[in-house]
Amino acid sequence: MKKYGFALLIWALAATGCQQANETPCDAVPITTQAPQAEVIALKQFIDSSGITAIADKRGFYYTIDSPGSGPKPTVCSNVSVSYSGKLTNGNTFDSAPNISFGLNQLIVGWQEGIPLIAPGGSITLYLPPSLAYGSQEQNGIPANSILIFKIGLSRIN
């Protein structure tokens, strides 16, 4: 794990709070956040100029399903175990972790929407515009307003 290994999780917990098992259960309210058009255009330019073949999601992110996995897919209310790496568009890795568990509702919007596209054993690459990632706030090793690339393998739904 990189020195920022828990940056994603810690930021999400600070931003959304931590839900304990005995608290009110997650209510799967549909996410309505959509990336601004300028971010979508910038992300599409990156995708096109890099020769990446990816699917555009209506909320403004792109993804490739490297392996769909099998079985039921998680929901935003699921607790999951994943392995992942996060990169900037220049190729620099800013974070990675093997086999880490968390509730999807505690994470950035791009992960809440992207991970449920695969089942356990599957893997996905997410191309996230800033507003579906960390936005205008600089994070450890992540400049403000960065397009982020996450390779995520879903081990299991806990």
Q: What's the rounded Cα separation, in Å, for the pair 50 and 59?
A: 21
Sheet holding 148-157, edge to edge: 55-56, 62-67, 123-128, 148-157, 79-88, 93-103
Query: Residue 60: what residue type?
Result: G
| Diameter over CA atoms, the chain | 48
- What pLDDT score does 107 carry? 93
> In the CATH hierarchy, which top-level class contains the domain 34-157?
alpha beta
3-state secondary structure of 105: helix
User: Tokens for 96?
Assistant: 């990675």
Structural domain spans, the chain: 34-157
Q: Specify the pTM.
A: 0.83
pLDDT digits (tens, 9 = 90+) for 56-92: 999 999 999 999 999 999 999 999 999 999 999 999 9
pLDDT digits (tens, 9 = 90+) for 9-45: 433 433 434 444 434 467 666 667 899 999 999 999 9
